[in-house]
């Protein structure tokens, strides 16, 4: 029997269908009689719609209907909501512009949908979409983040284009610490705007059945349950019990498939209006303009230290770009997922952060892998490195001096979080050894002899994962709870069907969750099937983001499995004529303690469904249990990333020679999958640090709107990675896991930039550190 338990490198159950072309992604699904949709999108960033003529388009060959933003408004569809209410310093609520499903009278970014053309073929829809005539009266676009607050207001309801002015921490104490410190390091930095670019473009099929009045939406979602709640409770597209959302195989998400977007919503509405199934698949050019983007901060940081480099105070001032509308999670990203992480791994006693969130005429910005935490880690690990250089301290030493020690846990930070466990020295030491830090100066000399500049950079990051304790989240403005649901159905023959509200977009839930449940029951993972992604089959669930699947969703399954075992013990006690207290469950057997009497897991399952010898007066038949798990705290994965680069002074090309990551994710179920998550995260982090940049021109046109212009990391841009683990279990969930999905993207960017600036002997370098930027920096420093 393949009984593969926790900690084993089990090959993935889902792979067979993907490697043989048998996956089922949304665009692979076709419904009988389906029509095709193409969106008409604004070519300008900021304009009043003076008029629209759809008559030619409507009359075009194969066109079924052209539906406009005006009709959306007439039908009274609600605003696409932001699910998180953030309050400004003065206690006032954030200013939220109305986010129409399709624009009716005003355009606020390039690519904003204004109409949907439904036709018999996609080609007919696309051709007709070009026949919709729209008269735009253009207005100056607000694009630049730093000057957005002094520009003309985009919305009357958002004065100064400022959504909120948020703060966290003790302002006076922090300012005093900075005033009185022996040394203060100051830097300004930009966290470059990114486009998530899951390789599967977003797609959906909306299918309204006029007979049953059920609406089914197949869609590329990270959280079908949450999408259903938003579409019913807020947008009011259909009653919750009449709306079924199915997320089949999803080809990557990285945050961008969390949100409830215009397109899927418009499609559902149109299907209901026309009474036919309608399919839409984004072309990549649409994804560039219409998926929520990530990051986009400008920040000033000050770090106060005593003579020995002990941190005394950290002051952070950030402007965060929200884009044209507040997308589903957006308000939480530069606040509760950002400001709260600014203690990092350090015992900084005074921290104060203020964040101005601004609207601009660009696509909405929301969570992208890491969401707020990469921005926090970037500024902190950059300023710590610069501080070390200014103080003439080894970058490793300055970190050691300030680490929270293992004996300090649980550790209350000055920015609201309580870390439960960690051992930062352990990760650092292991990473130093793997990266051979001791040998670095020799390697630097050797590189110099070849005319190359070699540098090494560190990043000791922390993140808060496993979103989130519902009551805490609620008190911070979350519009929803952040628990997860799980169901463990033992079938009569002893195989198990597991249902989870978590949703895989490639993380391997079908394997990890099977491994978790199989090891609980002592059965083979081949006997466990994991079902996810269909609100018609599952309890309400919250989905996958914030590295929460195993931590929250897995914990729900762990609890449900415990309930199965508890019931199984009662059945076994009856069958074995013993007391429940005397039954142990181990290795798949219910055994009467100190006896040789036992029943297998399969025998108990069978008895539960064929209850001939069964305590029917006390117990219901069947063996299926559910659990909802609401975490007691966030989890705090942390680790050290070390990057070693070599730079060609003639070209400015940065070559990553070695990238080492040592992470503490607590208890690990499947190390192979975890390492894969780390690899992917690092690749995205290196992409941000070296290659990727979303650029709008001053009129709000997206200049990086294709793979020809937006530089995605390719195989030959990246090195292989050295990945190691340390382990301090999470203290408050039943698995001890901390979550691993985002760490790579959080830890890596500062390590890369620290390595480059170390190589060049400079303090500042903006991301992405393209060869041009690096070359220019060398010219400026006179170092070429």
Residues near ligand FES (CB under 6 A): 199, 251-252, 506
The piece of 127-135, 138-146, 193-201, 636-644 that touches another protein (CB under 8 A) is 193-201
DSSP 168: E
The piece of 442-450, 581-589, 631-639, 702-710 that touches another protein (CB under 8 A) is 702-710
Identify which of 317, 390, 313 has the alpha carbon closest to the alpha carbon of residue 351.
313
Question: Counting beta carbons within 10 angstroms of the beta carbon of residue 61, is it exposed (0 to 12), middle (13 to 18) or buried (19 or more)?
Answer: exposed
Identify which of 777, 749, 746, 751 has the alpha carbon closest to the alpha carbon of residue 763.
777
Question: Counting beta carbons within 10 angstroms of the beta carbon of residue 345, is it exposed (0 to 12), middle (13 to 18) or buried (19 or more)?
Answer: buried
Instruction: Decide if residue 18 touches another protein (CB under 8 A).
Output: yes
Instruction: Decide if residue 249 touches another protein (CB under 8 A).
Output: yes
Measured from the CB atom, the residue of 252 and 479 that comes closer to ligand FES is 252
| Residue that has been written with the tokens 């992917």 in this structure | 680
Measured from the CB atom, the residue of 305 and 654 that comes closer to another protein is 654
Q: Cα 77 vs. chain centroid, distance in angstroms?
A: 28
* Distance from C-alpha of 744 to C-alpha of 20, rounded to nearest angstrom: 29
For the record, the structure tokens of 209 come out as: 């059945």
Could you say which of 198, 337, 367, 669 contacts another protein (CB under 8 A)?
198
Could you say which of 33, 475, 594, 715 contacts another protein (CB under 8 A)?
715
Measured from the CB atom, the residue of 282 and 608 that comes closer to another protein is 282
- In the region spanning residues 106 to 165, those forming contacts with another protein, defined by CB under 8 A, are 123
- In the region spanning residues 252 to 271, those forming contacts with another protein, defined by CB under 8 A, are 252, 254
Measured from the CB atom, the residue of 299 and 500 that comes closer to another protein is 500
Could you say which of 21, 32, 33, 156 contacts another protein (CB under 8 A)?
21
* Distance from C-alpha of 219 to C-alpha of 703, rounded to nearest angstrom: 28
Measured from the CB atom, the residue of 24 and 780 that comes closer to ligand FES is 24
Measured from the CB atom, the residue of 166 and 710 that comes closer to ligand FES is 710
Instruction: Decide if residue 590 touches another protein (CB under 8 A).
Output: no
Instruction: Decide if residue 711 touches another protein (CB under 8 A).
Output: no
* Distance from C-alpha of 764 to C-alpha of 382, rounded to nearest angstrom: 9
The binder of 505, among ligand FES, another protein, none, by C-beta within 5 to 8 A per type, is another protein
Measured from the CB atom, the residue of 21 and 156 that comes closer to ligand FES is 21
Measured from the CB atom, the residue of 11 and 85 that comes closer to ligand FES is 11
Q: Is residue 215 within 8 Å of 242, Cβ to Cβ? A: yes
For the window 320-339, what string marks contact with another protein as x by the rule CB under 8 A? --------------------
Measured from the CB atom, the residue of 201 and 543 that comes closer to ligand FES is 201
Please say whether the dihedral angle defined by the alpha carbons of residues 151, 157, 163 and 167, taken in this order, is positive or negative: positive
Instruction: Decide if residue 505 touches another protein (CB under 8 A).
Output: yes
Each as own residue / partner, the long-range contacts of residues 49-52 (CB below 8 Å, 24 or more positions apart, any chain) are: 49/103, 49/104, 49/105, 49/106, 49/107, 49/114, 49/134, 49/135, 49/136, 50/135, 50/136, 50/137, 51/134, 51/135, 52/114, 52/115, 52/132, 52/133, 52/134, 52/135
Instruction: Decide if residue 20 touches another protein (CB under 8 A).
Output: yes
Instruction: Decide if residue 768 touches another protein (CB under 8 A).
Output: no
Could you say which of 1, 7, 15, 210 contacts another protein (CB under 8 A)?
15
How many residues bind another protein, per CB under 8 A? Answer: 57
CB of 716 to ligand FES, least distance (A): 16
Query: What is the β-pairing status of strands 35-41 and 278-281?
Result: parallel
* Distance from C-alpha of 654 to C-alpha of 676, rounded to nearest angstrom: 24
Q: Report the SS3 class of residue 289.
A: helix
Q: Which residue is nearest to ligand FES (CB)?
A: 199
DSSP notation for 306-345 = -TT--EEEEEEEEEEEEESS--TTGGGTTTTTTGGGTTTT
CB of 769 to ligand FES, least distance (A): 24
Measured from the CB atom, the residue of 389 and 509 that comes closer to ligand FES is 509
* Distance from C-alpha of 155 to C-alpha of 161, rounded to nearest angstrom: 7
CB of 507 to another protein, least distance (A): 7
Binding site for another protein (CB under 8 A): 11-12, 14-25, 27-28, 123, 197-201, 249-252, 254, 281, 283-285, 505-508, 672-673, 675-676, 679-684, 706-708, 712-716, 718, 720-721, 744
């Amino acid at each position: 029997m393949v009984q593969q338990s926790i900690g084993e490198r089990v090959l993935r159950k889902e792979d067979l269908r993907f490697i043989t072309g048998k996956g089922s992604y949304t665009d692979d699904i076709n419904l009988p009689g389906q029509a095709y949709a193409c969106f008409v999108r604004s070519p300008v960033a900021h304009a009043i719609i003076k008029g629209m003529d759809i008559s030619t388009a409507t009359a075009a060959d194969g066109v079924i209907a052209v539906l406009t933003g005006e009709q959306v408004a007439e039908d009274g569809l609600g605003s696409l909501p932001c699910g998180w209410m953030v309050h400004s310093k003065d206690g006032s609520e954030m200013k939220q512009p109305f986010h129409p499903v399709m624009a009716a009278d005003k355009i606020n970014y390039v690519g904003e949908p204004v109409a949907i053309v439904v036709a018999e073929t996609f080609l007919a829809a696309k051709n007709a979409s070009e026949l919709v005539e729209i008269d735009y009266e253009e207005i100056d676009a607000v694009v630049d983040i730093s000057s957005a607050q002094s520009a003309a207001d985009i919305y009357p309801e958002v004065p100064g284009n400022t959504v909120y002015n948020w703060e966290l921490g003790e302002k006076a104490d922090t300012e005093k610490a900075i005033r009185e410190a022996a040394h203060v390091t100051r830097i300004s930095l930009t966290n470059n705007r990114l486009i998530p670019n899951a390789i599967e473009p977003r797609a959906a099929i909306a299918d309204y059945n006029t007979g049953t009045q059920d609406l089914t939406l197949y869609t590329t979602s990270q959280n079908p349950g949450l999408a259903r709640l938003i579409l019913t409770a807020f947008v009011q597209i259909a009653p919750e019990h009449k709306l079924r959302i199915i997320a089949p195989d999803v080809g990557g998400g990285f945050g961008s498939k969390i949100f409830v977007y215009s397109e899927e919503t418009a499609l559902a509405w149109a299907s209901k209006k026309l009474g036919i199934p309608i399919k839409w698949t984004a072309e990549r050019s649409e994804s560039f303009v219409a998926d929520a983007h990530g990051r986009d901060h400008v920040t000033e940081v000050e770090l106060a230290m005593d003579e020995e480099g002990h941190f005394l105070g950290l002051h952070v001032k950030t402007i965060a770009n929200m884009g044209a509308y507040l997308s589903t999670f957006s308000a939480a990203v530069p606040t509760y997922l950002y400001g709260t992480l600014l203690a990092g791994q350090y015992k900084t006693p005074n921290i104060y952060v203020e964040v101005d969130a601004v609207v601009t005429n660009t696509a909405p910005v929301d969570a992208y892998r890491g969401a707020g935490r990469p921005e926090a880690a970037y500024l902190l690990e950059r300023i710590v490195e610069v501080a070390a250089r200014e103080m003439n301290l080894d970058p490793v030493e300055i970190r050691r001096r300030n680490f929270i020690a293992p004996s300090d846990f649980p550790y209350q930070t000055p920015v609201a979080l309580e870390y439960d466990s960690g051992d930062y020295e352990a990760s650092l030491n292991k990473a130093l050894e793997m990266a051979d830090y001791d040998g670095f100066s020799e390697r630097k000399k050797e590189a110099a002899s070849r005319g190359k500049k070699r540098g090494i950079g560190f990043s000791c990051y922390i993140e808060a994962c496993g979103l989130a304790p519902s009551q805490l989240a609620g008190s911070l403005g979350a519009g929803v709870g952040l628990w997860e649901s799980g169901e463990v159905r033992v079938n009569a023959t002893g195989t198990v069907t597991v249902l989870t509200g978590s949703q895989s977009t490639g993380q391997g839930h079908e394997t990890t969750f099977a491994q978790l449940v199989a090891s609980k029951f002592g059965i083979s993972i081949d006997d466990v099937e994991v079902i996810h992604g269909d609100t018609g089959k599952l309890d309400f669930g919250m989905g996958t983001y914030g590295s929460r699947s195993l931590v929250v969703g897995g914990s729900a399954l762990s609890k449900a499995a415990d309930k199965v075992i508890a019931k199984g013990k009662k059945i076994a006690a009856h069958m074995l004529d013993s007391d429940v207290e005397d039954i142990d469950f181990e290795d798949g057997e219910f055994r009467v303690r100190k006896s040789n009497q036992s029943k297998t897991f399969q025998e108990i399952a069978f008895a539960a469904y064929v209850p001939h010898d069964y305590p029917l007066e006390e117990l219901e038949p069947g063996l299926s249990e559910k659990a909802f798990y609401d975490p007691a705290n966030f989890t705090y994965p942390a680790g050290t990333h070390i990057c070693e680069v070599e730079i060609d002074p003639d070209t400015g090309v940065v070559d990553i020679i070695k990238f080492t990551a040592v992470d503490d994710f607590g208890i690990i179920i499947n190390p192979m999958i975890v390492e894969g998550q780390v690899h992917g995260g690092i690749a995205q982090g290196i992409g941000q640090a070296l290659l990727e940049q979303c650029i709008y021109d001053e009129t709000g046109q997206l200049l990086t709107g294709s793979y020809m212009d937006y530089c995605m990391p390719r195989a030959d841009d990246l090195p292989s990675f050295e990945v190691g683990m340390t382990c301090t279990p999470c203290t408050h969930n039943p698995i001890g896991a901390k979550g691993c999905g985002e760490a790579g993207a959080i830890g890596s960017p500062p390590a890369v930039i620290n390595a480059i600036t170390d190589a060049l002997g400079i303090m500042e370098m903006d991301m992405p550190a393209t060869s041009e930027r690096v070359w220019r920096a060398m010219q400026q420093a006179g170092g070429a």
